[in-house]
């Protein structure tokens, strides 16, 4: 792909820009322990592919828990809030990558499955709020990354055609959705991603990178 073809980027947050997936996994473990449920690995995998609302409903209904999906949503948000407000960092190379996009005049925004309040807290703390064009969340759009709607909305905010936009994601289901919708897809490695899933990401994404900064050499 020629260097000047890409004019915009839609970036995932957790596992792509933020080094947060292992934190989410620890929360999954804490949650299943609290409710005496086995298979935290399975729970984490399913949570990654669901919206927050879908996961809460699945979790309560599947295990017949004495609580409500709304309570689970609130509980997870409370467990994670302090970490997003104070400590979750950008991934290695992410700041240099964003600086490179700025220098190249490539506009970018965020499309995330994360709770809106948590995403905003991290973005504000890391000084990204003035640099991004938009922040879109699954819950606010009532969608998931199993559907392309959030990416189409990102393209509208950028004012660009989908073939002018790269979509960077660390999750296979998101890569497959964006690819099917016709976007230039970038698979981003995360240490929390199982090896088999990373292999599938590499096979399906337009390009795949170990660090975000490596994208700059390939666009």
Q: What is the pLDDT of residues 175-209, one digit of tens each?
A: 999 999 999 999 999 999 999 999 999 999 999 99
**Mean per-residue pLDDT over the chain, rounded:** 93
φ, ψ dihedrals at 208, nearest 5°: -135, 145
For residue 71, what are its two tokens? Answer: 């309570």
Mean pLDDT of 139-143: 95
Model confidence band, residue 29 (pLDDT cutoffs 50, 70, 90): confident
Alpha-carbon gap, residue 8 to 163, rounded angstroms:
10
Model confidence band, residue 107 (pLDDT cutoffs 50, 70, 90): very high
pLDDT at res. 48: 79
- Residues 146-169 as b/e (b if ≥16 CB within 10 A, e otherwise) read eebbbbebbbebbebebebbbbbb
CA 78 to chain centre: 19
- Residues 11, 168: contact at Cβ < 8 Å? yes
Whole-model pTM: value is 0.88
Residue 83 has pLDDT above 80, yes or no: yes
Computed from CA positions of residues 8, 10, 14, 16, in that sequence, does the dihedral angle turn out positive or negative? negative
pLDDT at res. 37: 87
Q: What is the pLDDT of residues 1-10, one digit of tens each?
A: 444 699 999 9
pLDDT at res. 1: 43
pLDDT at res. 27: 83
pLDDT at res. 115: 93
Q: What is the pLDDT of residues 108-122, one digit of tens each?
A: 999 999 999 999 999
Which stretch of DSSP H or E encloses residue 143?
none
């Amino acid at each position: 792909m020629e260097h000047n073809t890409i004019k915009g980027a839609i970036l995932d947050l957790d596992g792509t820009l933020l080094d947060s997936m292992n934190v989410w996994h620890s929360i999954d473990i804490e949650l299943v322990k609290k409710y005496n449920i086995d298979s935290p690995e399975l729970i984490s995998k399913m949570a990654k592919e669901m919206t927050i609302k879908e996961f809460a409903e699945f979790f309560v209904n599947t295990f017949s828990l004495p609580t409500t999906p709304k309570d689970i949503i609130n509980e997870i948000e409370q467990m994670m809030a302090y970490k997003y407000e104070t400590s979750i960092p950008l991934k290695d190379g992410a700041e240099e990558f964003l600086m490179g996009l700025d220098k190249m005049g490539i506009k970018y925004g965020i499309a995330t499955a994360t709770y809106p309040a948590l995403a905003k807290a991290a973005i504000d703390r890391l000084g990204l709020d003035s640099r991004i064009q938009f922040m879109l969340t699954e819950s606010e759009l009532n969608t998931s990354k199993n559907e392309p709607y959030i990416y189409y909305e990102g393209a509208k905010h950028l004012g660009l055609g989908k073939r002018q936009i790269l979509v960077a994601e660390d999750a296979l289901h998101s890569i497959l959705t964006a690819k099917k919708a016709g976007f230039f897809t970038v698979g981003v490695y995360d240490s929390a991603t199982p090896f088999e899933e990373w292999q599938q990401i590499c096979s399906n994404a337009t390009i795949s990178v170990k660090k975000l900064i490596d994208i700059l050499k390939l666009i």
